[in-house]
Amino acid sequence: MIWLVGHHGMLGTEVYHRLRARKLEHVATDLDVDITDRQAVSGFSDPSALSWIVNCSAYTAVDRAEDEPERAFRINADGVRNLAWAARQKGARLLHISTDYVFDGRKEGAYLETDPPNPSGVYGRSKLQGEIYIRENIDRHVILRTAWLYGPAGANFVRTMLRLFQERDEVRVVADQWGSPTLAGDLADAIIQIITRETIQYGIFHFTNEGRTNWFEFASLILELARKHHLVDRQVRLLPIKTKEYPTRALRPANSYLSKEKIKAVFGIPVRPWQEALESFMNDMASHSGKT
């Protein structure tokens, strides 16, 4: 039995669909089992033995976290510790999702799992504390760090761009922050592959789609594909800007390019290029909207 935590979120929705499609025995919760409530988490039980707790829940409001650090830490650190305790108590393994924001983005080249974290904001610090609590409390854990997540559910960069392309004649996007987009469905596939394996190597792994880009290039391909699929039929000018021209409450890492070599080598998980993943997402968007 798999316990999926956070099944209403952007990633959780994708994992949930796959658990159902694969007919994997599971139970799914979201705010109905508040992970910050230790009693609720440890008391949550099912007659069957749990094999995995998969945690897709989180406090993900990166900028708001600067103004409510207690809440971010309560969910991303203390709540995660409750899940680690529960997994240990129930004899289950824990798969948890973390973030590129644990790094400060000053490294040149790809971040390895062994690189020292140094988060610059509250969100990143709270997520790093969650990782630390897991490592301290349960040996049988897999922490998957991801970045630039998008998918059909929830607010994300691709959906924001598609909205702005309808509303504005000119859209400005930062071109000096580098990383890799991640289609939530591809990460969900990786999660399913890991939790259905016979043998597991525990520890921290990085997963995003392959290839390094910046937000402006990402937006340019979204626009190109949106035009191709007639999701946008009006003229929009896309302009590259610098981070300092688009100040945000929380600092963003200038480089959040994560190396995927470890997850590929250990689990044999395929990682497709971000352009290919985006193309398949936009195809799906077009077919759902009746425009192809």
Ligand X SMILES: NC(=O)c1ccc[n+]([C@@H]2O[C@H](COP(=O)([O-])OP(=O)(O)OC[C@H]3O[C@@H](n4cnc5c(N)ncnc54)[C@H](OP(=O)(O)O)[C@@H]3O)[C@@H](O)[C@H]2O)c1
For binding to ligand X (CB under 6 A), which residues are involved? 6, 8-12, 30-31, 34-36, 56-60, 75, 79, 97, 99-100, 127, 146-149, 154
Which residue lies nearer to ligand X by CB, 215 or 267? 215
Residue 87, both tokens: 């997994």
Phi-psi region of 203 (alpha: psi -120 to 50; beta: other; left: phi over 0): left
State the minimum distance, in angstroms, from the CB of residue 116 to ligand X.
19
Radius of gyration of the chain (CA): 19
State the minimum distance, in angstroms, from the CB of residue 60 to ligand X.
4
Which residue lies nearer to ligand X by CB, 57 or 229? 57
State the minimum distance, in angstroms, from the CB of residue 92 to ligand X.
17
State the minimum distance, in angstroms, from the CB of residue 161 to ligand X.
14
Which residue lies nearer to ligand X by CB, 97 or 236? 97
State the minimum distance, in angstroms, from the CB of residue 22 to ligand X.
20
Taking CB positions, which residue lies at the least distance from ligand X? Answer: 9
List 16, 111, 123, 257, catalytic entry: 123
Which residue lies nearer to ligand X by CB, 80 or 231? 80
Please spell the DSSP secondary structure of the chain, one letter per residue. -EEEE-TTSHHHHHHHHHHHHTT--EEEESTTS-TT-HHHHHH---SSPP-EEEE------TTGGGT-HHHHHIIIIIIHHHHHHHHHHHT-EEEEEEEGGGS-S--SSPBPTTSPP---SHHHHHHHHHHHHHHHH-SSEEEEEE-SEE-SSS--HHHHHHHHHHH-SEEEEE-S-EE--EEHHHHHHHHHHHHT-SS---EEEE---BS-EEHHHHHHHHHHHHHHTTS--S--EEEEE-GGGS--SS---SB-PBP-HHHHHHH-----BHHHHHHHHHHHHHHHHT--
State the minimum distance, in angstroms, from the CB of residue 61 to ligand X.
8
Which residue lies nearer to ligand X by CB, 154 or 240? 154
Contact between residue 54 and residue 95 where contact means Cβ atoms under 8 Å apart: yes
The reply to whether 257 belongs to the active site is no
Which residue lies nearer to ligand X by CB, 59 or 205? 59
C-alpha–C-alpha distance, residues 32 and 46, integer Å:
15
So which residues are the catalytic ones? 123
